[in-house]
Structure 1
């Protein structure tokens, strides 16, 4: 009977995982509640204006949060801290908890302290913001000390707080820089009126506080904590998505808006000069800041692996493609609007200039990144195949939706008993249909060409998955194994300081001739390499 029940009994590993997830979730909630209560009490202590006091209800809530959740959090933390000498330290839950609470506390203390400093520049004292910032700063420092502990620090997801902190600091810095430059350009180009009761430079200084604070956060994680040197999967994804993709989108959006203002100034003076230039300060600020961030991270991406370089180039091509395709759709829309009854000729002209601006901005970026006239060096790679399938797949879906809208409008006009206004009703979805159809057909043709020109006999893939056990960061080694074998690589970090001095070439050589669905590779101590095929 016991033998029959054994397969259905939960394993100790599964029980431990569930227990840790539940305990760390409760600990996260308790810490957040206790910090909220402490910040509320500290805010009331620092408040010097009796007229803004919350009353006994707010005090009771803060006392309950601080005096009940706080001790419970300390007890639960002490219970877990004592267990971190065993398997709990290498669990995902411990690394996930520290990553989540560190990021939440970093965001909250930033909002509190920088918001308080910005309010001081505006002549307002915000004790609540200061209390929130100080309280969560203490939470961040304590958990940062836990993360850096040599005996109890997490062994998994160890780099996540660094990457998240660097990304958050970069976003705050870029946003603050754009908000700092926009009023300056407003004053320089338009002599904009300041807000009532405050000079124009007050908003500049307030935004500058956020830019400086974000820069400090970014420098701390990116330079001092050496997040720049990380080459694992999560760090690479963050570099490409935030540093390249998001920055390129901001830069091209600002550049396109600025170019539209220039084209309208030259060919469409239907609006007063001040109204025409109203969008220019924000556009120039976004283009400048986004361009700097894009160029910096694009250069870093070029120093990384072939996969990262290819991904950065593909997302640049995708951003340029979206801009150019959108421009084509808008141009078609404007041309159809220009041949209809005299509705609003100025609106059609503005549409046309907007589409031209999008094409001028997006087409060169796509051309340089994609290089359609050259044989692609990464033809047949997974990244290129995924990009092609994603582009023509999404384009096809959008084209189908646009086609349905066009059909609906046509049937609506026919059933209504007249053809008046048909072009006006279908010009927007028809422009989108034409642009997405062109994009889908082109990338489908490229995908077919890559598939047909691929080598007839591909390299034999004898390993499906490699489980790499090593000490420290093994991102470069994992990339070398994946490139040599074509297998997916899962990295596990071993406990202790028994690192490996094995070079990637030796590890790849040790895998030569090994076959199996799953293969365990254990590195260390020293130059030792163990390759173990696992049973199904």
Structure 2
């Protein structure tokens, strides 16, 4: 019996290790979810108590129920959050520190706290300018500011800070700050432009400068948040992965959409002023100030982030161009659909003539704005040098697929309208019923057909695969941000790459070429790549 004991232990150890690892992962997920919920509850309770403390108007009575709820959240949820945090904090010196759950928790709670306290405090200052006192906003802002500061300290702790997802809260904070900056600047400039274009003859409600100052408050607060994350925390220098995705989504896609929306609205107003002056001038020019402000502010943000994207990898630059082409394509296709809708409307009753002209001008404005952007970004007449590029193939397939789905839905609507017209014995003219979905059907069919043809042409022109993939999956263990190294491995081998951060954070001076050379000739389903310290690199084929 005694001789069998070591054998049984040896057999049981390998099987129990994955089990303990799975249990640890589940434990960490549950603990950090509970901690997130308890911190949120405690912050809500403190914010409610602070709101009552700052309320100076005797006519406001919140009742006993609200006070009891705030006390329960604070005095029950607060201590539970502190106890759970203390036990969790003591364990952050091993697997817990390098887990995804710890980094995800800090990113989530930091972003929620940032958005909540910034929105509340900026809203409170904005209300003060309008002559309104908002003690609840002040209490919420102070409570969540304390939460943000506390978790910011944890994020920067030298021995407890997360080893994974370390840049996510900084990138998200910069994106949120950019959104507040753009919206605040548009609100301020729109008020100024509206007053300059058509001064208010009769003052109703708050004066115009109140809205301008409120927008200026949001602009200043957003600029501080953006500068703190983008410049001070050096989010501008983050490259690869999530940082590049957010750069393209917020700085290019978001700012570009704001710009095109503003320019398109301004062009539409100009066309109506020239060819469709059926409305009085104040009503016609009502949105002109907002359109000019959106076009100007959006263009500044768009051009700046476009320049930053040019400094990133080829994949990011390609994604930037494709996103811009997609924006122009959406605007141009929408314009074509609206133009077809307007032309069909002109064939119906004469009473629809004015509406048809307005629709036609709206479609022309969208087409005039979107087509040049698509042309410059897509460059359809130039020879395609990267016909086999992954980003271009994904874009073509995505556009073709989405356009096909929209076209099918529009075709179903057209069919429904036709059958409805046939069964109800007349009524409204058939063209009047189908003109909107038919215009959408025609536009999306053109888009789908064109991009399908381009996809087939690129597929035929793409060079043959130069090598046979011998590795399916690579597990890269490296320190710091290894996004460029992972992208190079994926490009060289065609394998999917999973990045693991070293717990010791050892400095690595290994070059990308050295890692790619070490993988040359390796054939295995899975391969482990260890980099660091210094220029050390080790490639370990793993058994299936």
Normalising by the residue count of structure 2, what TM-score does the alignment of the two structures yield? 0.95
Question: Is the counterpart of residue 364 in structure 1 residue 341 in structure 2?
Answer: no
1-structure distance, mates of 2:254, 2:150: 32
* Farther off after superposition, 525-534 or 410-419: 410-419
Change (3 A) 1:186 1:420: closer
Which residue of 2 is the match for residue 38 of structure 1? 46
Q: CA deviation at 1:193?
A: 5.6
Question: Is the counterpart of residue 175 in structure 1 residue 207 in structure 2?
Answer: no
Spell out, residue by residue over 1:355-375, the C-alpha distance to the aligned partner (whole angstroms, 9 max, x if none).
111110000000111111112
Aligned partner (choices 415, 419, 431) of residue 407 of structure 1? 415
Question: Is the counterpart of residue 191 in structure 1 residue 199 in structure 2?
Answer: yes
Aligned partner (choices 56, 66, 70) of residue 58 of structure 1? 66
Which residue of 1 is the match for residue 5 of structure 2? none
Aligned partner (choices 73, 92, 109) of residue 117 of structure 2? 109
Which residue of 2 is the match for residue 122 of structure 1? 130
Aligned partner (choices 254, 257, 262) of residue 246 of structure 1? 254
Which residue of 2 is the match for residue 393 of structure 1? 401
Question: Is the counterpart of residue 71 in structure 1 residue 79 in structure 2?
Answer: yes
2-structure distance, mates of 1:419, 1:124: 54
The number of residues matched between the two structures is 536
Which residue of 1 is the match for residue 335 of structure 2? 327
* Farther off after superposition, 164-173 or 36-45: 36-45
Q: Please tell me whether the aligned partners of residues 326 and 374 of structure 2 are also in contact (alpha carbons under 8 angstroms).
A: yes
Q: Please tell me whether the aligned partners of residues 167 and 242 of structure 1 are also in contact (alpha carbons under 8 angstroms).
A: yes
Aligned partner (choices 3, 22, 25) of residue 17 of structure 1? 25
2-structure distance, mates of 1:398, 1:273: 37
Which residue of 2 is the match for residue 166 of structure 1? 174
Spell out, residue by residue over 1:46-93, the C-alpha distance to the aligned partner (whole angstroms, 9 max, x if none).
222222131322222211111111111111111001000111000111
Change (3 A) 1:125 1:81: same
2-structure distance, mates of 1:69, 1:195: 49
Q: CA deviation at 1:6?
A: 9.2
Q: Please tell me whether the aligned partners of residues 324 and 362 of structure 1 are also in contact (alpha carbons under 8 angstroms).
A: yes
Aligned partner (choices 498, 510, 513) of residue 506 of structure 2? 498
SS of the residue corresponding to residue 270 of structure 1 reads coil
Change (3 A) 1:81 1:9: closer
2-structure distance, mates of 1:523, 1:253: 48
Question: Is the counterpart of residue 275 in structure 1 residue 299 in structure 2?
Answer: no
Aligned partner (choices 387, 399, 424) of residue 379 of structure 1? 387
TM superposition outliers: structure 1 runs of 4+ over 4 Å = 1-10
2-structure distance, mates of 1:295, 1:24: 40
Q: CA deviation at 1:194?
A: 7.5
2-structure distance, mates of 1:177, 1:491: 40
Aligned partner (choices 466, 470, 480) of residue 478 of structure 2? 470
Aligned partner (choices 516, 520, 524) of residue 512 of structure 1? 520
Q: Please tell me whether the aligned partners of residues 507 and 533 of structure 2 are also in contact (alpha carbons under 8 angstroms).
A: yes
Spell out, residue by residue over 1:313-364, the C-alpha distance to the aligned partner (whole angstroms, 9 max, x if none).
0011011001101111111111111122213211100111111111100000
* Farther off after superposition, 44-53 or 86-95: 44-53
Aligned partner (choices 212, 231, 238) of residue 223 of structure 1? 231
Q: Please tell me whether the aligned partners of residues 388 and 463 of structure 2 are also in contact (alpha carbons under 8 angstroms).
A: no
1-structure distance, mates of 2:39, 2:311: 40
Q: CA deviation at 1:292?
A: 1.1
Normalising by the residue count of structure 1, what TM-score does the alignment of the two structures yield? 0.96
Q: Please tell me whether the aligned partners of residues 388 and 462 of structure 2 are also in contact (alpha carbons under 8 angstroms).
A: yes
Q: CA deviation at 1:421?
A: 0.6
Q: Please tell me whether the aligned partners of residues 310 and 378 of structure 1 are also in contact (alpha carbons under 8 angstroms).
A: no
* Farther off after superposition, 470-479 or 432-441: 470-479
User: Which consecutive unaligned segments of at least 5 residues does structure 2 have?
Assistant: 1-7
Which residue of 2 is the match for residue 316 of structure 1? 324
Question: Is the counterpart of residue 343 in structure 1 residue 361 in structure 2?
Answer: no
Q: CA deviation at 1:419?
A: 8.3
Aligned partner (choices 44, 56, 81) of residue 48 of structure 1? 56
SS of the residue corresponding to residue 520 of structure 1 reads strand
Q: CA deviation at 1:120?
A: 1.7
Question: Is the counterpart of residue 205 in structure 1 residue 205 in structure 2?
Answer: no
User: Which consecutive unaligned segments of at least 5 residues does structure 1 have?
Assistant: none
Q: Please tell me whether the aligned partners of residues 163 and 501 of structure 2 are also in contact (alpha carbons under 8 angstroms).
A: yes
Change (3 A) 1:341 1:503: same
SS of the residue corresponding to residue 517 of structure 1 reads strand
Change (3 A) 1:217 1:4: closer
Which residue of 2 is the match for residue 139 of structure 1? 147
* Farther off after superposition, 347-356 or 371-380: 371-380
Q: Please tell me whether the aligned partners of residues 194 and 200 of structure 1 are also in contact (alpha carbons under 8 angstroms).
A: no
